Structure 1
């Protein structure tokens, strides 16, 4: 496994986003299957594991704590504060007291004394970013967190936060069909020496190639509320997927491997964190750092799937109103 850097840490070039082991995409897998995913990732050389207080309203952190505690010295463990479940509802709260309490609870669930990278999950528009990051910086000084990150924020917010305490990583969605980071925040990360962690790099399963019928998504699957997965837009997007799969077949690789390889070649400061709930899919993720794409292939992929060719918005209007990232 090739490696890249996040702040003081050397991590695998591909991390594992653990959200869907407990959250968001319908019924989570059984515990033994989740364990097989985590252990398979470890065996494949993955050392970066990403979770959040929100995922499963604490269940995902508990899962990782119970299964990865014995491997704690081998891994870089990241989690997020600032968005969590309160009385069964998702709440964005960046107040310093809330952040401190959230992290104490996360440490217990994760069965660790320290979180390697703590992200602010979402900007709370009611709380100055300086106050939220100031509370997170206090946790670094207390030895409960090693490095800080931000999730889904703009370049301007990133700069304000970095002025309070060095930011090691910026996490946001980046892949063929979501190019928003190219507006400003990716350049800001490079100017400031901040690692870019790309979540949902497989388009929430779309680029894996197996999701053909969105009508079969479970009622609580969050993709049901995302315009690109609506029946209206998905039919158009499937035409792009057919051509993308043809490209993967030409290269004798899995579609997921191709999607991740494209992203890895966008810069050695980019670390994708794909997720899966199926251990048999891990090989396609782990293979990506070894796949080198030539210039002609990169150009074809860029022309095939981009913000002009994809049908539908990334988020619905209500969710987009909560997001601080730049939009085209």
Structure 2
């Protein structure tokens, strides 16, 4: 059985002759349907050719797992704990204030009267990616910035994801546990055991949530992929990312957004049978390995994992206690209604509060 989770974005712009530091993010929008159609088609064809033998003639299209942010709103009746989904703005704003002033000065000197701000610089750097993909040729905006400036911009993206739904967000990983519990159900051919984000009505039905398929494909958003990675235990860092210094642990850091959620990011879970051990029992057991953007993950959190990243399904399930225990209380924290009156009053006075 193969489980394929894909992010609805494009692969990295490898078809352009640009430096590897150009790893910004592009999103589909109602007026940008053509963004990335070529790259998305190519990525889909590559996956199909690799796993097409596993598929059958019957495909069931489901809308099982709600977008997590919408589910939060539904469950809480728009009443949220003040810590719920604190944004990563504090960390990214800190880093923007460090790396953009010299850029702001350079651009304003070159264009008197422009009065560009740090936020303008950030938007111009993202415009490089948008225009490049829209025109399928390198944008002139990209040449406005040098390699070191693109590296600094990339680190801003790292901070955004780390403190958005990653390990730096106390209530970030809990947003990924519903998906993991559905994954466990498919891996073990057992009913979904989850009381958080999943739709229990659909998950209880073998029609809308079948457990006998050889291949599954789910689609999500990069923020949810990050939450799933962290809930599962992938890409743990020795220490939190420093919003004031991109060089801390830079040689050992594996939290690089362009590698975790590039355009058309995908996580593949392969369920396999192989004779890793010497006993008959080992040969009959189910194993799995996980690939993130074609890179096999070490799965250090899984007991008995091999050097090839192959782990017993039973050990993997055992390692996912955070998900199977409903987030160890973190899910409930998302909807605590402390100081409700004061919160609502503050929201009325400051409607943009995060």
TM (normalized to structure 2)? 0.27
* Larger fraction in strand: 1
- When Rg is computed on C-alpha atoms for both structures, the one with the higher figure is 2
Q: Which has the higher contact order (CA 8 A, sep 6+)?
A: 2
Q: TM-score, normalised by structure 1?
A: 0.28
